[in-house]
Structure 1
Amino acid sequence: MSISSFVTQSLEEIRFWSRIMKEHAFFLTLGFTADDTELIQEAKEYIVIFERIEEQIADYNEKTDPEVIRRLNIQVYQAAASIWAYKRKVLGLILHCKIGGNNFPLLVDHISREAAYFANRLKDLNEGKLQPLADAIVKENVFFLKIMADHSKFIGHLLDPSERKLVDQAEEFSHDFDQLLYQAIDLDSMRPQSETNPLLGQFLDQNRVSVVSLRDFKKTARDLIEECRIKSIIHPLLADHVFREADHFLTIIDAFDAHLTANETL
C-alpha cells in the first residue's frame, strides 16, 4: 500500500464509521428503558467520543503526515474496540433478561459486528495488511450482505403492521440477501485463487443489482418517513443511516470491480 493510499483509506474509513458509531450509541439510548440510566450515560459518552473524532479529522487530508494518521488510527481503534465491548455487554444483559427495552438482540449484535469490522480495518491499515483480491472480495461481501439482510429484517419489524406492502417488500429483501449471503459463503469455501476468476465478476454484478434495489427502497422509505407519509417507529436518522450503509457497500463493490477490470487488462 502506498503512503498516499494509506492516508486516504484511513481517513475515509474513520469519516464514515465514526459517524456510524456515534449514531449507534444514539439509537441504543432510544431503545433503553428509563431505568437504564447508567447504560444511557455510557452511550452518551460514546456519542461525545466519536463527535470529537469527527471534529479532530475535519482538517485532515491526503497530505497529512502518515505518522499522524498512524497515531490517529490507534486512537480511533481504541474507541472502536471500547464501543464494541460496550455493545457486547448490552447484548449479554438483554440475552440474560437483565434489561428490557426495545433494542432487538440481533440489532445489538449487528452494530457490534460493525464496530469489530471498523476496529479491525484500522488495525490492518496500520499493519499494512492487504488480502489477496479474491479473498478480500468474498470476505467483504459476506460481511456486508449479512448487514443488508439484517437491515431488511429490522425495517420489516419496525414498520407498522398496517403498512402491508412495505412490510412484504422488506421481507422479500431479507430473503434475497439471505440467499446471496449463503451463495457468498459457498463461494468462500470454493476459495477462487485467480483474481481473474469469472465467478468473482459475476458475483459482484449480481450483488450490485440487489444492493441498488435495496438502497433505492431505503431511500424511498427514508423520504417517506421524513415527510410523515408512512406509519412506523423508525427514527428518521435510522432510515438515513441504513441508506448510507447500502450506498457505502455499493462503493466497495464498484472499487472491487474496477480492480478486477484493471487486472484483466494487465
Structure 2
Amino acid sequence: MSDFVQHAIFEHRFWLEIMQNHAQFIHDALYPSEKDDIQRANSFIHQFSQLLSYVPSLDGANAVSFSITVDDNVEQFKQFKLYLLRHQLSGDIGIHLTPTFVNHMVNELEEYQNVLSYLKKSEVPPIFHELHHHLIWLLDASGHAGIIHDDLDGVEKRLKQKSNEFAKHFEQFYLKAVELTGYLRTNMHSFPALSRFNKDVELEMTLFKTFLKELEEMELSAEVLGTFTAPMADHMWREEQYYLMKLAQAKEEG
C-alpha cells in the first residue's frame, strides 16, 4: 500500500466519523418542530456512514475519486451548518446547540477541506507547523471543556470545577498561540518559548483526555449526573488524540 493511500485511509477514517458525529449532534439537538432540518441532518448521517464504510477498500485506483466525492459531500454539509448558524443568529430556529458550538464544527470541517485539497490531487497532506494545529484545536478544546461544565448537573461541583479549569487553561493557551504565530514572521519556525509551549499544551491535553475517559466511563455506568453523553466524550477524546498526534509529527519534522 502506497504512502498516499495510507494517509488517505487514516484521514478519511478520522474525519468522516467526526462529520457523522456532527450530523448526529445536530439531528439530536434540533427541536421536533424543525422537521425539514432533522431530515437533512439524518441524510448527512447516512451519507457519512456510507462513505466511512467504504474507506477500508481504498486503494491507488480509487482514493482520489473517493476524495473528490467526499469533498462534494463535505461542502454541502458546510453549507447546511452555515445555514443553521445564520438562523441561530437571526433567532428563528429551535436547536439545543450554541452558535459557538456550530461555529467550531465549521472550523473543524474546514480543516478536513484543507486535508482534502491535497488528497484530491493524489498528494500526501503536508506536516503543518505546530501553531497551525494549536489555533484550530485549542479553541475547540476550550469549547469542549465549557460544554462539559454546562452539561454537568449543579451538584457535580468537583467535576464542574475541573472542566472550568480546563476551559480557562485552553483559552489562555489559545491566546498565547495567537501571539506566537505572529513571531513566525521573523522566519524563525522554532524557538525555546515555542518548545516549552508545545510541552505545556501536550501535558494539559493528556490530562484532559484522561478526564474525558473518566467522564465517559461514569456516564456509561450512570455514575455522573447531567446531560453530557458518553458519545460526546468519545468524540472529544478522538479529536484531542488527533491533535496530539499532529503535534508529535510537527515536532518530529521541526
TM-score calculated relative to the size of structure 2: 0.93
User: Shift of the alpha carbon at 1:34?
Assistant: 0.8
Offset at residue 96 of structure 1 (A): 0.7
Q: Post-superposition shift, 1:245? A: 1.1
Could you tell me how far apart the structure 2 residues matched to 1:23 and 1:15 are? Answer: 12
* Distance in 2, Cα, partners of 1:10 & 1:146: 26
TM-superposed CA distance for 1:57, in Å, is: 1.4
2:72 & 2:231 partners in 1: Cα distance?
26
AA paired with 2:106?
S
Q: State the 1:140 CA deviation.
A: 1.4
Aligned partner of 1:184 in structure 2 is 177
Distance 2:192 2:228 in 1: 40
Q: Read off the aligned partner of 1:179 and give its amino acid letter.
A: Q
CA distance in 1: counterparts of 2:12 and 2:143, whole angstroms: 23
Partners of 1:162 and 1:105 lie apart in 2 by: 27
Change over 3 Å in CA distance of 1:130–1:197 after alignment to 2: farther
2:160 aligns with one of 164, 167, 187 = 167
CA shift in 2, pair 1:130/1:44, >3 Å:
closer
Equivalent residue number for residue 123 of structure 1: 117
Aligned with 2:138 (options 112, 137, 145)? 145
Counterpart of 1:15 (choices 13, 24, 38) is: 13
Give yes or no for contact 2:130–2:251 (8 Å, CA) kept in 1: no
Q: AA paired with 2:117?
A: K
Secondary structure, in 3 states, of the residue corresponding to 1:175? helix
**What is aligned with 1:240?**
234
Q: Which residue of 2 aligns with 1:84?
A: 78
SS in 1 for 2:7: helix
Letter of the structure 2 residue corresponding to residue 155 of structure 1: I
Instruction: Choose which of 51, 54, 61 in structure 1 pairs with 2:52.
Output: 54
Structure 2 distance, partners of 1:142, 1:236, is 26
Aligned residues: 252
The 2-side partners of 1:170 and 1:19 are apart by 25
Tell me which residue corresponds to 1:154.
147
Please give the root-mean-square deviation of Cα atoms over the aligned residues, in Å: 1.8
Number of the residue aligned with 2:65: 71
The letter of the residue matching 2:55 is I
For residues 88-123 of structure 1, the C-alpha deviation after alignment (integer angstroms, 9 at most, x for no partner) is 111111111111231111111111111111112111
Paired letter, 1:44: N
One-letter identity of the residue aligned with 2:24: F
Shift of 1:246: 1.2
Taking every aligned residue pair, what percent have the same amino acid on both sides? 22
Structure 1 residue 196 displacement after superposition: 4.6
Secondary structure of residue in 1 paired with 2:95: coil
**Is the 2:16–2:51 Cα contact (8 Å) retained in structure 1?**
yes
**1:34 corresponds to which residue?**
32
SS at match of 1:33: coil
Instruction: Tell me the SS of whatever aligns to 2:120.
Output: helix
- Give SS of 1:210's match: helix
Please give the alpha-carbon distance, in whole angstroms, between the structure 2 residues aligned to 1:183 and 1:95.
29
